Amino acid sequence: MPQQTLSPLQIRPRRFGLGLAIITVAMLLAAVNYGNNLIFLIAFMMIALMINSAWQGWRALSGVQTRIIPPGMRAAGEAGTVSIEFTSQATVPPLQVDAGLEETIGYTALSPRGSTIISMTLPGEPRGYLPLPEITLETPYPLGLWTVRRRLSPGIGQWIHPAPIEGLDRARQTESDGSGDQSSLEGDPTRLRSYHPGDPIRHVVFRHYAKTGQLLTRHPEADSERPNPEIIDYEAFAGPRETRLSAMTERLMHLDRAQRPWVLRLPDEDDLTASASANRAQRYQTALQRLARFGRQRDEQGFDLWVDHVAPGETY
């Protein structure tokens, strides 16, 4: 993954500076024609002022260090925020920060030495790990005669997970038809639910299986403190790919809010499990990242491409 980079400084005259340069040239021509030493003095003072102004602006911007604060993960289509920290051992000059997008231009006035943080709005994007836009830093410091500019390449991306939507989970629908808080067929008040691979064989209700052909297992109260993780399986959801991923995201968020264990299962990827013994917050972030990048093509820098983006609910 590329690192944050700053382009070389560029300097060009502003309209006011260009006008002042034209006036200075005219004064020099007049001083030569008339041999007026006072006009010579004023013209050379103006030249010195312009040179010193360019040098001060160049030095001020070259002394500014930048750090991109990674934006938080957000849902596809939602606007986000990116923050940039400017640090300088000297005074931070007035900076215009332009990300090349509408309504994302920030401005920070002249600040004392130390750090200054500004924030800009990011537009809604499709899911994936997408690069942050390049940022242009400009300053007219100190007199507005010159514009000193450099470009900042963040080198990091923005995580955008699928927008959560309700979806049809065939496995959960089947489970809801034959599970819940109900009395055991053998008179045991324990709860019954559909059989999951790995359930103890002694908990299987074979009498019910012999009558209906459906496997149920007892769920004693002693086991309620450590419930079996719910499997969020890509193959268990109906619809096109984007719809499935959005439905899986909604289910994952629901289980995370309820502090229930889960297993994320995506085709051609290892299962990701979150239980009481695991780092749930980290696993949750990893699961959202997997859902964000699933099936996405990547460029040579490691960022996701947009070529296969399909809005939720559309046919893929």
pLDDT in the model for residue 118: 87
Task: Give the three-state DSSP class for 65.
Answer: strand
Per-residue pLDDT, averaged over 277-289, amounts to 86
pLDDT at 181 over 60: no
Are the beta carbons of 61 and 87 closer than 8 angstroms?
Answer: no
Largest CA distance in the chain: 118
For the stretch 63-90, pLDDT in tens is: 999 999 989 999 999 999 989 999 988 8
Are the beta carbons of 96 and 105 closer than 8 angstroms?
Answer: yes
Quick one: tokens of 200? Answer: 């103890």
Are the beta carbons of 66 and 152 closer than 8 angstroms?
Answer: yes
Are the beta carbons of 95 and 137 closer than 8 angstroms?
Answer: yes
pLDDT in the model for residue 306: 66
pLDDT at 188 over 80: no
Residues whose CB is less than 8 angstroms from the CB of residue 137 and which lie 6 or more positions away in sequence, other chains included: 61, 64, 66, 95, 96, 97, 149, 150, 151, 152
pLDDT in the model for residue 13: 94
